[in-house]
Amino acid sequence: MMTKDAIIQKLKESGLRVTPQRLAIIEVLIEKGHLHPGAGLIYKEARKKSRSLSLSTTYATINEFSRHGVIKTLQFDGVENRCESNLDEHINLICERCGKIMDYKIRPSVDQKDMTRRTGFVVTNSRLEYYGYCRDCRQDKKRRQVP
Amino acid sequence: MMTKDAIIQKLKESGLRVTPQRLAIIEVLIEKGHLHPGAGLIYKEARKKSRSLSLSTTYATINEFSRHGVIKTLQFDGVENRCESNLDEHINLICERCGKIMDYKIRPSVDQKDMTRRTGFVVTNSRLEYYGYCRDCRQDKKRRQVP
DNA sequence: TATTTTATCTGGAATCATTCCGGACTTCTA
DNA sequence: TAGAAGTCCGGAATGATTCCAGATAAAATA
Ligand SMILES: [Mn+2]
Ligand SMILES: [Mn+2]
Ligand SMILES: [Zn+2]
Ligand SMILES: [Zn+2]
């Protein structure tokens, strides 16, 4: 997770302006990053800080940040995409009931050099996900056995 | 990758009928499974075998198969979702230029029992992806250095 | 076999997150 | 202060997927 200053610096280095709208979104990404927020939540929260922010701008900013490596976007279908601000290699534990996304730290296990030698494929980015049920939802499921 | 007969059996066990439309889709999944085909390709190919097949039915069937564990769906955003018929744990190497998806076999590296003990999260499904460039597209990129 | 029930199929409309667009606004620079 | 570049906004367009209601086909029943 990059710090606020690191993000601001990165934007400046890339020749991007640090506007009130972008600042608001940066702050939300830092405050709510662990939730892996989607555009909707980011929009809702950032609007509290920069009241005129539009949804278009929120999407554009998310894309801009993603393009410059400030965040990654976790793309889904049917449901909102989510933002990943933890750039270290880890597995996202995604609850299929409540949609919560938790980080699970791992040590890199695949020898990418070896993989590239064998397949010719060069990795620029990774996405590791386990789907299932979080502790809360497992218990809820148990309780509901007798509905 | 399940065999045709195994899939048919599984459907029957689940009380689902094996209709011409479903059979056509099963065959396409087996013939083109390595391409990780999307609904569009499956529709196009299966239509050659069952000429009246509709796109609605194709989607419905993909969902049904996915629900019954015959395939998994790889959800993306903006682009078509893709079907995964290789149910063994592996990493999908996804080329960001041509969209090709290649399987890379790995040995399970995360101790899920230990993870569940520590996080309370129970895994039902996984999705492991590396994004990057395949051998062909890497070479194309090089050639294009001087456009 | 005829009748009822159930599952499945189809074409078109609806959905909804996301992207696109033209015009307005802001910041930078000379 | 004027132009240029970057940014923002609201609303329309997009497009893969889902939903819907009526038609078909297969299975179950009598
Ligand atoms: Mn994460
Ligand atoms: Mn695969
Ligand atoms: Zn949950
Ligand atoms: Zn490629």
Do residues B34 and B65 share a domain? Answer: yes
Residue that is last in its domain, among B50, B65, B84: B84
Residue that is last in its domain, among B54, B84, B114: B84
B99 confidence band (pLDDT: 50, 70, 90): confident
Q: Nearest by CB to B120, which of A75, A125, A134?
A: A134
B95 confidence band (pLDDT: 50, 70, 90): very high
Pairing of strands A90-95, A122-133: parallel
- Two structure tokens written together for A55: 């949804």
Residues of the domain holding A53? 4-84
Q: Helix (H, G, I), strand (E, B), or coil: what is residue A126?
A: strand
Chain B closest-CA separation from residue A87 CA (Å): 14
Query: CA B115: distance to chain centroid?
Result: 26
What's the whole-number mean pLDDT along residues B86-107? 92
Do residues B16 and B79 share a domain? Answer: yes
Do residues B76 and B112 share a domain? Answer: no
Do residues B72 and B51 share a domain? Answer: yes
CATH assignment of the domain containing A27 = 1.10.10.10
- Two structure tokens written together for B62: 């993909």
Pairing of strands A101-105, A122-133: unpaired
Do residues B18 and B33 share a domain? Answer: yes
Do residues B76 and B96 share a domain? Answer: no
Pairing of strands B90-95, B72-74: unpaired
| Residue A35 Cα to ligand 2 middle (Å) | 28
Going through chain B in order, the beta strands assigned E by DSSP cover 72-74, 82-84, 90-95, 101-105, 122-133
Do residues A43 and A112 share a domain? Answer: no
Does the pLDDT at position B145 exceed 60? no
pLDDT for res B76:
87
What's the whole-number mean pLDDT along residues B15-44? 97
Do residues A79 and A52 share a domain? Answer: yes
Cβ A44 to strand C below 7 Å: no
Q: How far apart are CA A74 and CA A84, in angstroms?
A: 7
pLDDT for res B109:
81
Q: How far apart are CA A132 and CA A116, in angstroms?
A: 31
**Helix/strand number for chain B, H first, E second:** 6, 5
Do residues B42 and B11 share a domain? Answer: yes
Q: Helix (H, G, I), strand (E, B), or coil: what is residue B98?
A: coil
Do residues A11 and A51 share a domain? Answer: yes
Query: CA B41: distance to chain centroid?
Result: 12
Which positions in strand C are less than 7 Å from the protein's CB atoms? 7-12, 17-21, 27-28
What's the whole-number mean pLDDT along residues B112-126? 94
| Residue B81 Cα to ligand 3 middle (Å) | 24
pLDDT for res B107:
86
- pLDDT by residue for chain A (147 residues), tens digit each? 899 999 999 999 999 999 999 999 999 999 999 999 999 999 999 999 999 999 999 999 999 999 999 999 999 888 999 999 999 999 999 998 888 999 999 988 889 999 999 999 999 999 999 999 999 998 876 655 433
pLDDT for res A144:
52
CATH assignment of the domain containing B125 = 3.30.1490.190
Pairing of strands A82-84, B72-74: unpaired
Q: Which helix (H) or strand (E) holds A128?
A: strand A122-133
Please name the amino acid found at residue A86. Answer: N
Residue that is last in its domain, among B36, B59, B84: B84
Do residues B13 and B79 share a domain? Answer: yes
Do residues B52 and B94 share a domain? Answer: no
Tally of structural domains, chain B: 2
What's the whole-number mean pLDDT along residues B87-103? 92
pLDDT for res B108:
80
- Two structure tokens written together for B140: 């194309």
Does the pLDDT at position B147 exceed 50? no
pLDDT for res A147:
30
